[in-house]
Structure 1
Amino acid sequence: MTPMSSTPDPVIDAHLAVALDALLSEQSVTRAAARLHTSPAAMSRTLARLRRVLQDPLLVRAGQAMVPTPRAQALREEAAEVVHRLGALLTPGASVDPAALRGTFTLQTADLIGAALAPGMMRLARQEAPGVSLRFRAEELEAGPALRDGRIDLEVGSIDHVDPETQVEELVTLRMAAAVRPGHPLIEGALTPERLAAAEHVVVSRRGRFTGPLDTALAELNLHRRVAVALPSHMAALALASRSDVVCLIPTAPAGAAPSPLTDTATALGLRLLDIPVPLPPLTIGMAWHPRHAADGGHRWLRDTVRRTLAAPDRSTT
């Protein structure tokens, strides 16, 4: 067994590295002190400490000036590099260059939101971060724990869980509209609550529920709609509405606002959007993430990409 040394290991001090770089660059205690915003007396004490640690005088008098020793000359470039790397290490993550990002970001969204986000986000990734891939997952995981343990990086949708550590940002507030095929009987004439209730409906529910806010609003008028089918995804419901006379509710932009990217799929299927003649609560779309990603530059780019895509959707082919 090797005997333990009685000499303690030197303590690594980043301040010494910064002082060494300043002293070797300036070759003057006074100028090095001014560079680091300290006093010449304090810098003299730091030089003395560096001399003890490195067992070399480092800077010696030569007339009115100070000149570096051979050891100091050998350390000059290395000290500058160490200080540069320390600066990069302590730079906030927001300064990341998207072009340097590599890896995959995983987003959990409803299928309609994923379809709305994917084209615009892919276009921005191609332009700004070609080393990034995007993975969209269905709403199959409990978002709070999935964000916490890193199975997903970002949740986008109607954020209905409230975890103390989860950070949430509201993105857009939407209203509900009725999507129907061209030539649907509801297109002709005024759409009244009675006509809407009399039509067959498809509802979207991951849990298989047949009722929602529209049923509550109709019940206040003593009306009841017929739900012909419940489907787990908006894409399937919209496809059914495009081939039958069922009515499908879909989130869209408020009246007078710019078109919502969430309606692009309905438009692509040739569906018509009708105003619902009863008041329904608005739908708020937001994004949620774990706070460990709050200051990460790559994750900041991801969140900004979601914002930009929802604000100005890309409608060109990618």
Structure 2
Amino acid sequence: MKVTSLDLNLLVILDAVLEEGSVTGAARRLDLSAPAVSRALGRLRTAFGDPLLVRSSRGLKPTAHALALRPRVRALVEDARNLLGPAEEDAPAAWCRSFTVLAPEDLIGCFGTDLLALVRAEAPGVQLRFLGEGRAADEGAAVREGTADVAIAVNASKEADLRSEGLVREPLLGVVRAGHPLSSGEVTAARFAAWEHVVVSRHGRLRTAVDRLLEAEGVRRTVAASVPGFATALRLVAAGDLVGIVPAALAGPLADPLELVTFPVPLDVKPLRVSMLWHPRHDDDPAHRWLRARVREAAGRRTAP
């Protein structure tokens, strides 16, 4: 394939179709007509000598060749945007672009509102696209491939090829419904373990570090359920006698509406480490630096006292 036979606009369209999984979604994202995107996809198939995307019950499914191309296409598109994007002296108010933020839904709930408000106040032409973790195999892959501009992760391991910045250390609190026996009096490890618990694990684990801490105190707990998010755990706690452990920043806003009571966990439970991840290729992009500053500011607003 000759380089001159493929223009940058086609790569932008390929990137959008691979991300959206549909011609209609890519057209909407790029403000193009669906027939225009279909024609571009036809040219791309000819240029690469591969179907690239095939129909499935869930939309368009990328071929093996398309999956191999995806990170390289995304990197090329991102490099072009950085090259042709706003100069450092351009004011954010003049920008017209989007940023993609990958984060657990609970974290989006904690400070997504503040982040959006900060972004819109300075750059009304900027759009934020929040993605849940289900849209990427992991946070590192998302920022490497360009699926996300930044990822906000909990207890993330450091990776040599990525930038990582700590945002907050979020303390954990015990939580029960109002009127639960643990809502009053001293909560000891024995009292804490005597009630059934709901745990939070995006991988469905039923045993956590809390179990090891309890066993060190000579007691065991019964885990009734595992759920993927803290907001769901809070609703299960509110509906019965289960005990939960949740971040203070999330428990605070939801305690009154759900009629919950929080208390210190009677164990040496480590706070959650919330970090921001990004790829080094964005280090010197003025707009990306601005986004990282807004994420930092939004996280700071939600730091629990």
1:199 aligns to 2:195 (yes or no): yes
Higher helix share: 2
User: What is the CA-CA distance between 1:128 and the residue it aligns to?
Assistant: 0.9
Match of 2:231 in 1: 235
User: What is the CA-CA distance between 1:160 and the residue it aligns to?
Assistant: 2.1
Match of 1:102 in 2: 96
Match of 2:147 in 1: 151
Amino acid corresponding to residue 239 of structure 1 in structure 2: R
Match of 2:129 in 1: 135
Amino acid corresponding to residue 194 of structure 1 in structure 2: A
Q: Residues of 1 paired with 2:98 and 2:222: CA distance?
A: 43
Q: Residues of 2 paired with 1:227 and 1:104: CA distance?
A: 42
Correspondences of 1:40-119 after superposition (within 5 Å): 94-119=88-113
User: What is the CA-CA distance between 1:216 and the residue it aligns to?
Assistant: 0.9
Match of 2:262 among 262, 270, 273: 273
Equivalent pair of 1:181/1:271 in contact (CA under 8 Å):
yes
Distance change >3 Å, CA 207–CA 91, structure 1 → 2: closer
With structure 2 as the length reference, what TM-score do the two structures score? 0.66
Amino acid corresponding to residue 288 of structure 2 in structure 1: H
CA offset digits 1:196-215 (Å, max 9, x no partner): 00111111111110111211
Amino acid corresponding to residue 150 of structure 1 in structure 2: G
Equivalent pair of 2:142/2:151 in contact (CA under 8 Å):
no
Alignment gaps of 5+ in structure 2: 1-82
With structure 1 as the length reference, what TM-score do the two structures score? 0.64
Equivalent pair of 1:213/1:281 in contact (CA under 8 Å):
no
Equivalent pair of 2:183/2:262 in contact (CA under 8 Å):
no
Match of 1:287 among 247, 262, 276: 276
Equivalent pair of 2:102/2:133 in contact (CA under 8 Å):
yes
Q: Residues of 2 paired with 1:261 and 1:187: CA distance?
A: 18
CA offset digits 1:219-270 (Å, max 9, x no partner): 1012111111111111211111122111111122xxxxxxx46743445433
Select the structure of larger CA radius of gyration: 1
Q: Residues of 2 paired with 1:261 and 1:99: CA distance?
A: 31
Match of 2:206 in 1: 210
Tell me the secondary structure at the aligned position of residue 208 of structure 1. Answer: coil
Amino acid corresponding to residue 182 of structure 2 in structure 1: L
Amino acid corresponding to residue 237 of structure 1 in structure 2: A
User: What is the CA-CA distance between 1:312 and the residue it aligns to?
Assistant: 2.0
Q: Residues of 2 paired with 1:222 and 1:310: CA distance?
A: 37
Q: Residues of 2 paired with 1:145 and 1:297: CA distance?
A: 23
What is the number of equivalent residue pairs in this alignment?
219
Equivalent pair of 1:179/1:248 in contact (CA under 8 Å):
yes
Distance change >3 Å, CA 154–CA 104, structure 1 → 2: same
Equivalent pair of 1:113/1:262 in contact (CA under 8 Å):
no
CA offset digits 1:140-162 (Å, max 9, x no partner): 22222211111011111224243
User: What is the CA-CA distance between 1:120 and the residue it aligns to?
Assistant: 0.6
Alignment gaps of 5+ in structure 1: 1-88, 253-259
User: What is the CA-CA distance between 1:272 and the residue it aligns to?
Assistant: 1.9
Equivalent pair of 1:108/1:138 in contact (CA under 8 Å):
yes
Q: Residues of 1 paired with 2:214 and 2:133: CA distance?
A: 29
Q: Residues of 2 paired with 1:271 and 1:95: CA distance?
A: 49
Equivalent pair of 1:157/1:285 in contact (CA under 8 Å):
yes
Equivalent pair of 1:202/1:227 in contact (CA under 8 Å):
yes
Amino acid corresponding to residue 150 of structure 2 in structure 1: L
Match of 1:9 in 2: none
User: What is the CA-CA distance between 1:292 and the residue it aligns to?
Assistant: 0.9
Match of 1:162 in 2: 158
CA offset digits 1:60-87 (Å, max 9, x no partner): xxxxxxxxxxxxxxxxxxxxxxxxxxxx
Match of 1:187 in 2: 183
Tell me the secondary structure at the aligned position of residue 230 of structure 1. Answer: strand
Distance change >3 Å, CA 90–CA 103, structure 1 → 2: closer
Q: Residues of 1 paired with 2:301 and 2:132: CA distance?
A: 24
Q: Equivalent pairs: percent with the same residue? A: 36
Amino acid corresponding to residue 243 of structure 2 in structure 1: V
Distance change >3 Å, CA 261–CA 127, structure 1 → 2: farther
Q: Residues of 2 paired with 1:112 and 1:90: CA distance?
A: 35
